[in-house]
């Protein structure tokens, strides 16, 4: 496992080099979108309408931030559960989406689309929204303001900490971690059986 300091506009080029378990500090533009915004994005695609931002090479963070306090760019901004976006993610990946940030498992259809499109799924640490918000230096609503916290925002982040959960080859850290754990338990049982 390795660590990378990456600009978000380098992600498309770097995605094939990243592996499940690698840690990344992201700097650059990240867009926010949760399930309501994802549904609207896909409705626009189906209608042949342009999206409100250039999705090619983009990173979407699955977050609905709290309101900013005075002097802050954004309020608490922790990841939401990613499976809520599973019905929509493959269509956006096919349009060129390169990175997704959230928490939790993804469906087989999403994993296949990640593999087919050379994308990456990152995990951000749940429960750390106040700390993660310190890495967000600018935030502006660019689409669907009626959705409130679920409006699409353009963020500028600096050294935003994420872990590669599913890499562009479909390797899945959740499965790797589980298998490593089971192997270690089995090894302890084998070693302990002779005592």
Q: Residues with catalytic annotation?
A: 38
Beta pairing class for 99-102 and 3-7: unpaired
User: Residue 85 burial by CB count (10 A; 0-12/13-18/19+): exposed, middle or buried?
Assistant: buried
Answer for the pair 108, 123: CB distance below 8 angstroms, yes or no: no
Q: SS3 of 17, please?
A: helix
Answer for the pair 160, 138: CB distance below 8 angstroms, yes or no: no
Q: Measured between alpha carbons, how far is residue 157 from residues 15, 127, 160, 168 in Å?
A: 19, 18, 6, 23
Answer for the pair 81, 103: CB distance below 8 angstroms, yes or no: yes
DSSP assignment of 137-179, as one string? Answer: EEEEEEE-GGGGGGSEEEEEEEEEEEEEEE-TT--BHHHHHHH
What is the enclosing helix (H) or strand (E) of 181? helix 173-193
């Amino acid at each position: 496992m390795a660590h990378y300091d990456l600009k978000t506009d380098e992600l498309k080029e770097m995605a094939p080099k990243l592996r499940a378990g690698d840690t990344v500090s992201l700097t650059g533009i990240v867009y926010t979108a949760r399930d309501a915004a994802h549904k609207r994005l896909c409705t626009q695609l189906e209608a042949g309408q342009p999206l409100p931002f250039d999705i090619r090479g983009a990173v979407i963070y699955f977050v609905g931030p709290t309101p900013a306090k005075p002097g802050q760019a954004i309020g608490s901004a922790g990841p939401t559960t990613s499976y809520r976006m599973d019905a929509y993610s493959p269509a956006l990946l096919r349009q060129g989406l390169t990175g997704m940030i959230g928490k939790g498992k993804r469906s087989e259809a999403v994993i296949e689309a990640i593999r087919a499109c050379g994308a990456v799924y990152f995990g951000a640490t749940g429960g750390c929204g106040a700390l993660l918000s310190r890495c967000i230096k600018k935030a502006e609503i660019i689409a669907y303001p009626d959705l409130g916290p679920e409006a699409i925002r353009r963020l500028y982040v600096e050294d935003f900490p994420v872990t590669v959960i599913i890499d562009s080859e479909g390797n899945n850290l959740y499965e790797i971690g589980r298998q490593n754990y089971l192997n270690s338990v089995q090894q302890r049982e084998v070693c302990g059986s002779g005592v």
